[in-house]
């Protein structure tokens, strides 16, 4: 199987890179073994808490100011063309309400999430928080505590519907994705609207868990029209329904551009010769190799097994690329759980062009993008999506420019 580029991954970085390549006329395939971090997304995309404070070696440090801002604009355009409505812009910062009730600075957040331009309060003085009865993956108490301390008056209710009652017979069914399917039915949205209209009182906004539909994306807007009050959502424990919707929309857009997305397959073997990748093989295609001019490794961090911790080392399992980690196992962690943990910065090292290194030599046609990259702590630096998106677009541009030159 021959493509211009083969991308190994399937999450945010793989999809962004694949979409940008396809838009530049470069054919690609994405090989993805399964779930990505988007399935656990908070609904917000974090860029970098403070770009000026990023350490040397951070994957975003090598981007010029021009690249930094033009890749942000390109990402917004991709998201918009993929049908994903986001709040936020490249040159401004807003705050999204976390499931624990904290306002966290975000670059972009999915439309419909409760957000604020002010770090100290939300734009409502009176809210109603409505949760489904027995839905335990949503922390009403934390929200009330935190919003009250910001000066917002809060009331909470629990509601039920016959379809939710059926799910409640088995508590393991009370997951956000299952409840979202209930709200794909128009009659359930209408029934919820009736409850909310009855209960809204003086509230300026009704806050619900982010579970308002799986196939339908605009149910919050629909409820707003039906209830005559703002409707906002706050993240739940995983799975993240809006994160899965985002993954599906990006994939659909990628495929509409001619990209090949092979879900449920895993790259397991690769041949590198004279500083170049010759082919890769996958679990489902052991006899036919994937061949491409360029390969892009976007397999994620420990969470997605793009890197794997062994007894005293960290390994990149597909190509055996060079990785950065602390030699002494005892240095991998610190006792203070609230501090950034050293192991979170472990990952694959690259040259300045994001080409992977093996035995300190660049591999000419192998790029590395996203959370697998060493030198960043997505939580402490607040840069998860920023690293995934901007490194993916940087590589897509390098490949496109190289292609134009040939
Ligand atoms: C649980 C969690 C929640 C997060 N939430 C946020 C958030 O809300 N906002 C934010 O800005 N950042 C968040 N982050 C940071 C996150 O890492 C990035 O935002 C980004 O989504 C990572 O994308 P990625 O494509 O680099 O990696 P991933 O999303 O991890 O994707 C890697 C993909 O590679 C596939 N894969 C792995 N090995 C192989 C193989 N051999 N063959 C084929 N496929 C393979 C995996 O199945 C997976 O689909 C979160 C991270 C985690 C772990």
- The length of the chain is 406
281 lines ligand 1 (CB under 6 A): no
Q: At 82, phi and psi to the nearest 5? A: -80, 0
250-258: average pLDDT:
98
Whether the pLDDT of residue 337 is over 80: the answer is no
Q: Read off the pLDDT of residues 7-38 as tens digits, 9 standing for 90 and up.
A: 999 999 999 999 999 999 999 999 999 999 99
Q: At 115, phi and psi to the nearest 5? A: -135, 170
Strands of 117-209 (E only): list them.
126-132, 153-159, 205-209
Residue 108 has what pLDDT? 95
Grade residue 49 by pLDDT with cuts at 50, 70 and 90: confident
Residue 286 has what pLDDT? 85
Q: At 363, phi and psi to the nearest 5? A: -95, 120
Query: 112: buried, middle or exposed (CB in 10 Å: 19+, 13-18, 0-12)?
Result: buried
292 lines ligand 1 (CB under 6 A): no
Rounded to whole angstroms, the Cα distance separating 65 from 118 reads: 26
pTM for this one?
Answer: 0.96
Whether the pLDDT of residue 89 is over 90: the answer is no
Q: Read off the pLDDT of residues 194-221 as tens digits, 9 standing for 90 and up.
A: 999 999 999 999 999 999 999 988 899 9
Q: Read off the pLDDT of residues 96-119 as tens digits, 9 standing for 90 and up.
A: 999 999 999 999 999 999 999 999
Grade residue 403 by pLDDT with cuts at 50, 70 and 90: confident
Whether the pLDDT of residue 145 is over 80: the answer is yes
**Domains of the chain: residue spans and CATH:** 7-86+243-329+337-405 (3.50.50.60), 114-234 (3.40.50)
Q: How far does residue 187's CA lie from ligand 1's centre (Å)?
A: 35
Whether the pLDDT of residue 153 is over 80: the answer is yes
Residue 404 has what pLDDT? 85
Q: Read off the pLDDT of residues 350-391 as tens digits, 9 standing for 90 and up.
A: 999 999 999 999 999 999 999 999 999 999 899 999 999 999
Q: Read off the pLDDT of residues 283-335 as tens digits, 9 standing for 90 and up.
A: 998 889 999 999 999 999 999 999 999 988 999 999 999 999 999 988 999 98
31 lines ligand 1 (CB under 6 A): yes
Rounded to whole angstroms, the Cα distance separating 7 from 282 reads: 12
Burial track 184-193 (b if 16+ CB lie within 10 A, e otherwise): eeeebbebbb
Q: How far does residue 300's CA lie from ligand 1's centre (Å)?
A: 5
Whether the pLDDT of residue 238 is over 90: the answer is yes
Q: How far does residue 370's CA lie from ligand 1's centre (Å)?
A: 8
Q: Check residue 402 and report its DSSP letter.
A: H
Residue 280 has what pLDDT? 97
38 lines ligand 1 (CB under 6 A): yes
The tokens for 11 are: 């999450």
> Which of 32, 384, 393, 394 for a ligand 1 pocket mutation test, highest count of atoms within 8 Å of Cβ?
384
Top pLDDT among 293 and 340 is at 293
284 lines ligand 1 (CB under 6 A): no
371 lines ligand 1 (CB under 6 A): yes
Residue 170 has what pLDDT? 84
Nearest partner of 345 among 318, 327, 310, 372, judged by Cα: 372
């Amino acid at each position: 199987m021959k493509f211009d580029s083969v991308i190994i991954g399937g999450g945010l970085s793989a999809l962004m890179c694949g979409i940008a390549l396809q838009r530049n006329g470069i054919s690609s395939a994405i090989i993805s073994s399964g779930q990505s971090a988007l399935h656990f997304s908070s609904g917000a995309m974090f860029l970098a808490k403070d770009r000026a404070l990023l350490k040397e070696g951070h994957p975003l440090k090598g981007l010029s100011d021009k690249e930094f801002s033009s890749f942000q604009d390109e990402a917004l355009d991709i998201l918009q063309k993929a049908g994903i409505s986001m709040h936020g812009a490249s040159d401004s910062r807003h705050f999204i309400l976390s499931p624990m009730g904290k306002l966290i600075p975000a670059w972009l957040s999915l439309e419909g999430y409760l957000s604020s331009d002010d770090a100290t309060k939300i734009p409502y003085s009176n809210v109603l928080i409505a949760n489904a009865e027995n839905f335990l993956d949503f922390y009403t108490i934390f929200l009330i505590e935190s919003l009250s301390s910001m000066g917002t008056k809060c009331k909470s209710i629990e509601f039920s519907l016959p379809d939710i009652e059926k799910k409640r017979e088995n508590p393991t069914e009370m997951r956000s994705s299952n409840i979202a399917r209930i709200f794909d039915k128009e009659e359930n949205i209408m029934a919820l609207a009736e409850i909310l209209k009855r209960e809204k009182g003086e509230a300026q906004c009704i806050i619900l868990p982010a579970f308002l539909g799986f196939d339908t994306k605009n149910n919050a807007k629909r409820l707003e029209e039906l209830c005559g009050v703002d409707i906002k959502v706050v993240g739940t424990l995983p799975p993240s329904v809006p994160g899965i919707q985002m993954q599906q929309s990006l994939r659909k857009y990628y495929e509409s551009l001619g990209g090949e997305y092979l879900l449920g397959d895993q790259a397991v073997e690769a041949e590198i010769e004279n500083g170049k990748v010759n082919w890769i093989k996958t679990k489902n295609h052991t006899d036919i190799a994937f061949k491409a001019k360029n390969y892009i490794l976007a397999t994620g961090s420990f969470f997605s097994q793009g890197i794997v911790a062994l007894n005293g080392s960290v390994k990149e399992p597909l190509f055996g690329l060079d990785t950065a980690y602390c030699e002494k196992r005892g240095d991998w962690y610190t006792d203070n759980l609230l501090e950034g943990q050293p192991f979170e910065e472990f990952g694959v090292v690259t040259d300045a062009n994001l080409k992977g290194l093996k035995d300190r030599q660049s591999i000419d046609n192998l790029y590395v993008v996203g959370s697998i990259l060493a030198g960043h702590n997505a939580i402490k630096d607040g840069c998860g999506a920023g690293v995934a998106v901007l490194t993916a677009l940087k590589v897509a541009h390098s490949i496109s420019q190289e292609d134009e030159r040939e």
